[in-house]
Amino acid sequence: MRPTWDEYFMDIAELVKERSTCLRRKVGAVIVKDNRILTTGYNGVPPKMRHCEESGCLRTELNIPSGQRHELCRALHAEQNAVIQAAKNGIEIDGSTIYVTAQPCIICAKILIASGIKRIVFKGDYPDNLSLEMLKESKIEVVAF
């Protein structure tokens, strides 16, 4: 049976997350408009930096729970990387959909709201209720896959 568009793009996001070098949670994201892939992203450190596999995980060392103290992480989130790739390459993402293999955190939610994403399809959870509240207030369509 042929997959729906949501199934198709979420499957691609699942594949994208395999590039992640995060030791705690691998996440993939795909930004799509008119059923065409614009950019992808996965969580990992910025270019030219040692991956967490080499440097270790500061969050684990400090026993920081998931969803807290985002600033104490060397990595960018998958959504952030997908938006950054669009910006670097001059790709307009206003009005697009993002597929993510985990619920966006509050930082990513704010970035997605500001970037003009109109629809978020996510799979999995993340301990961050404020992000869901802000997404609801922003009137972005949010679909738990």
| pLDDT at 5 > cutoff 90 | yes
pLDDT for the residue numbered 51: 93
pLDDT for the residue numbered 125: 84
| pLDDT at 142 > cutoff 90 | yes
- Kindly give the residue spans of alpha helices, DSSP state H, lying in the chain: 5-16, 52-55, 58-61, 78-88, 106-115, 129-138
SS3 42: strand
Residue 77 labeled ligand binder: yes
| pTM of this structure | 0.95
Please say whether the beta carbons of 16 and 42 come within 8 A.
Answer: yes
Residue 51 labeled ligand binder: no
Residue 70 labeled ligand binder: no
| Structural domains of the chain, with CATH | 5-144 (3.40.140.10)
Question: Known catalytic residues?
Answer: 79
